[in-house]
Each structure stands twice: as structure tokens, then as C-alpha cells.
Amino acid sequence: MTEGTPKKLVELKDLQLYFNKGKSNEVRAIDHVSFDIYEGEVFGLVGESGSGKTTIGRTILKLYEPTAGDILFEGKDVTHLKGRRLSEFRKNAQMIFQDPQASLNGRMKVRDIIAEGIDINKLAESKADRNQKVQQLLDLVGLNKDHATRYPHEFSGGQRQRIGIARALAVDPKFIIADEPISALDVSIQAQVVNLMKELQQRHSLTYLFIAHDLSMVKYISDRIGVMHWGKLLEIGSADAVYNHPLHPYTKSLLSAIPVPDPEVEKARQHVDYDTSVETDGKKRDMIEVNPGHFVLATPEEAATYKAAQR
């Protein structure tokens, strides 16, 4: 993170996304969520499937239209962008998808996949310039120039994810949303890709929104973490605070479920069950700052209890 007061790059203000609004099958995929992502940081978003973490990522990139609330990028409202303004915004905010098999067009050569953003935004002056840019990107992600003329099926999962990363970087974005970028990869390859992402982030001063359900990986890469459940953001704080001093009972339950590669720890591990009544009893809850920078969704009484229990 940058020194001094960190600059806000992305701000979500009371964001809501309801599917089937007003009908009996209404789904509150994003339910009054507010948080900021600072420039140069890795913000991790964790939660189980159906928690709304992927939906938030997609809504920021305007792949969904939010029901209410605002999204600010570099202080400017991007909530209702259309047309050329939208593609300008998407040049700055890119996405790395979960499944590199599904997110790369199998009929396109790697060169054209990576250069698609360059072509759309007319970033290359000539064909030679375009090829050179692709080359640099391949270098950057640890692939070599022979790979440019091949098709995605000729690559392993880890290499395909590298192609996905190169494609995201092609338009020189400031902000990258990585949606479960390593879940489809093998253990030994996951570490390679995460290390590459971390290295690129530092070298190009990128900002990441890192979405994953693998809590240990999120803890490893993130500066700050938000915990989501049922469309609500329940807790937010520094990676260390959320993992080592969790406040919300859901976070505690989630952390207690992570299997640790140590037989002795595993034998002693007790999974804490989560009582959902703290979300469903209908009381009004707000994000309360319990410790500096560490927020939890709670009533004032609950916040006091959480703080007391934290010691």
C-alpha cells in the first residue's frame, strides 16, 4: 500500500443488485454493500458459493446493472456508463476469469486473444507494433514467443491462466478483478500463478480485487479482506485482523473450517457452527468500526460483545 493517506480507486456505496425485484422469488445478490479499494492494494473478497462475491466483481465491471447504489472509479461515477465511456472505463478495469479453458476462445490464436483489447482500443500503431506488444506480454507472464501462434487447447491449465493474465494486462489497466483465478489449477501450479500475479502487481503498481473461496490463498495475497455471506458484507479489515482476530461469528465459523496441512492441528481442530440468526432476525445492522480499519456488520450491542470477546 502507498504511504500516507491511501487514495481510493474504487468505491462502492450502498450497492444493491436484486434479481426478480418485487416478485416472490426475489434474490438479493448484493444487499447494501459498501467498501473502498485503495490504490495499489490487493483486496480479497471471500465467502461461500452464492454469497455474491462474483456478482460484485461483475457488477463493478458493469456486466450487471445494479438495482441501486453507486460505483465510483477514481472518484468518478461509473454506475451508469454506456457506449464509448464504458469501453474507456473497461480499459482501466480488466478481469481474469476462473476457468481459463472456458474464457479463452478456442478458435483464436493466442496472439489474437491477447491483442483483442489492443485492437479494440486501437493501442497499436502497426502490425509490427502489435506483435511486439504481444511478445512483451508473453514474456511478462513467463510464456515464450513460439506460443503466440498456437491455440489455447495446446496449453496446460496453468499456461492458459497465464494467457488470461496477459490478455488482461494488454490494455495497461489500473485495476484487475481476479475471479477465482486459481481454483481450476493444480496445487503446484496455483502457487506459480499467485506468485506471478503478486509480482506483476508490484511491478506495475496494479490494484486487485481478488475473489476466492480458498481462504489461505486469499490471506496470502491480500492486504485487506472482506467477508461476504448471503449478499451482505459481514466483516472487513486488514488480512491479519480478519484472520487472527475475527469478529463476526460467520468469519469465525469459516476460518474454523479451513483444513490445515498438519495432522496434529487437524486432530485438534473443532469446526464452529454458524448461527444464522444474526443475519435473519430482522434487526437493523450497520458496519461498525470496532478497531481502526476493522469493521463488522452488527447492532451496537453485538459490536460491543464482539469486541469484548476478541481479546
Partner 1 sequence: MLNNPILKVENLHVNFNTYAGTVQAIRDVSFDLNKGETLAIVGESGSGKSVTTKTLMGLNAKNAAIPDNSRLLFKDRNLLDLTENEWQSVRGNEIAMIFQDPMTSLDPTMKIGMQIAEPLIKHRQMKKEDALARALELMKGVGIPNAEEHINDYPHQWSGGMRQRAVVAIALAADPEILIADEPTTALDVTIQAQILNLMKQLQEETASSIIFITHDLGVVAGMADRVAVMYAGKIVEYGTVDEIFFNPQHPYTWGLLNSMPTTDTEVGSLEAIPGTPPDLLEPPKGDAFASRNVYALAIDSKEEPPFFKVSDTHYAATWLLDERAPKVTPPEKIQKRWAHWQEIQGQEA
8 bridge partner residues: 38
* Nearer Cβ to partner 1 (93/166): 166
Q: Does 295 bind partner 1 (CB under 8 A)?
A: no
Interacting span for partner 1 (CB under 8 A) from 95-103, 106-114, 174-182, 268-276:
268-276
DSSP 286: E
Q: Does 220 bind partner 1 (CB under 8 A)?
A: yes
- State which amino acid sits at residue 298: A
* Nearer Cβ to partner 1 (169/242): 242
Instruction: Please give the helix or strand (H or E) that residue 58 lies within, else none.
Output: helix 53-60
List all residues 6 or more positions away from 77 whose beta carbon is below 8 Å from its beta carbon.
70, 71
DSSP H helical segments within 122-186, as ranges? 127-140, 157-169
Q: Is 230 helix (H, G, I), strand (E, B) or coil?
A: coil
Q: Which of 38, 175, 243, 306 binds partner 1 (CB under 8 A)?
A: 243
In the complex, minimum distance from the CB of residue 248 to partner 1, in angstroms, rounded to a whole number: 14
Interacting span for partner 1 (CB under 8 A) from 5-13, 20-28, 77-85, 213-221:
213-221
Distance CA(286)–CA(267), nearest Å, equals 37
Interacting span for partner 1 (CB under 8 A) from 130-138, 172-180, 212-220, 300-308:
212-220
Q: Does 153 bind partner 1 (CB under 8 A)?
A: no
In the complex, minimum distance from the CB of residue 92 to partner 1, in angstroms, rounded to a whole number: 26
Residues 175-194: x where in contact with partner 1 by CB under 8 A, - otherwise, as a string: -----------xxxxxxx-x
* Closest among 52, 32, 41, 31 to 10, alpha carbons compared: 41
Q: Is 7 helix (H, G, I), strand (E, B) or coil?
A: coil
Q: How many residues lie near partner 1 (CB under 8 A)?
A: 41
Q: Which of 105, 216, 277, 305 binds partner 1 (CB under 8 A)?
A: 216
* Closest among 229, 231, 195, 285 to 59, alpha carbons compared: 231
* Nearer Cβ to partner 1 (54/190): 190
* Nearer Cβ to partner 1 (94/190): 190
**298 exposure class (CB count in 10 Å sphere: 0-12, 13-18, 19+):** buried
Q: Which of 195, 276, 277, 305 binds partner 1 (CB under 8 A)?
A: 195
List all residues 6 or more positions away from 179 whose beta carbon is below 8 Å from its beta carbon.
54, 57, 58, 95, 96, 97, 98, 211
Q: Which of residues 32-61 bind partner 1 (CB under 8 A)?
A: 48-49
Distance CA(169)–CA(145), nearest Å, equals 17
Q: Does 253 bind partner 1 (CB under 8 A)?
A: yes
**Is 167:114 a contact under the CB 8 Å cutoff?**
yes
In the complex, minimum distance from the CB of residue 270 to partner 1, in angstroms, rounded to a whole number: 10
Q: Does 261 bind partner 1 (CB under 8 A)?
A: yes
Question: Which residues of this chain interact with partner 1, rule CB under 8 A?
Answer: 48-49, 156-159, 186-192, 194-195, 198, 213, 215-217, 219-221, 243, 253-263, 265-267, 269, 271, 274
